[in-house]
Structure 1
Amino acid sequence: MNLVELIDSAPADPVTDPADAADVNRYCNEVAAWCNEKSLPGPVPVGDVKRHMTLLGVYTPIVIASRAADLATNPAAQAALNLTLSLDNFDTFHMDEAPVVAAVTAGLDALVAVDLLTEEQRDSVIALGDNRRSRAEANGLPPVSPAQVCAVKGF
């Protein structure tokens, strides 16, 4: 199967039935495997992460919230949102570091509180970050630290 065929076989966008999330995850892993097989050694492709977040209905609300005035005045929420968005810009970061998990979770909880995300979507983003870290480690890539993410994001 080539990449075009894989893309054409994508689950419905957006996913509204939680039972379909497994299909999305399987699809994204197939795309990642295809990209990894065809690419030179280096970073794990990130396109599957953004697509996964989009299919789960998570990506757009996070982008919107990151620009919303009521969250823009909350530095902790902004930092968490930017760290979450970093999932599609970096191969991994330390989702197993307690302060990072707390910061990202707090930012996602803020989105749940204003009905931009469901609790299931919040949990899927956190799980996606952990999956990202595991895949990068499996490919022998060093984790990206929160400090590096913050420096690149400008906060």
Structure 2
Amino acid sequence: MRTTGDRIRHTVGFELIGLLAFAPLASWVFGFALHQMGLIGAVASLIAAVWNYVYNLMFDKAMLRFRGQLRKTPAIRVLHAILFEGGLLLVFLPSVAWYLDISLIDAFIMDIAVAGFYMVYALIYNWAYDAIFPIPNATPRDCAADCP
């Protein structure tokens, strides 16, 4: 399993890179001011950072319990990203609607688009992170075709 320091590095990197990509893109796509999208992104990032740490710890424990290893197949990586973003969607929907003074339906459509962006981003980031920072003490069996 990953160390706490490694999980913190993973989370901070994920949130910083994600925020730098999200705010200008969301401002352009949705037509809201950059500072509004930046604030939404920053608050969401703080909430997501905590969720990221807790979720990945729980996911790794579940992987060990049900699979006996931490190796993620492409299908498991997709499931990992979907479940992560689904949890965030439930939290963000009401707050985004309130802050932007839009309907829950409009916030839902916006959140689905943002979740889609972050789902793809999470898949790419986590795959790259695992390649750059392999799991410590991973055996060849754990890595199979998934480690560098």
TM range (shorter): 0.3 to 0.5
Q: What's the TM-score, normalizing by structure 1?
A: 0.35
Higher helix fraction: Structure 1 or Structure 2?
A: 2
Structure showing greater relative contact order (alpha-carbon pairs closer than 8 Å, 6 or more residues apart): 2
Q: What's the TM-score, normalizing by structure 2?
A: 0.37
Answer with 1 or 2: which has the greater Rg. 2
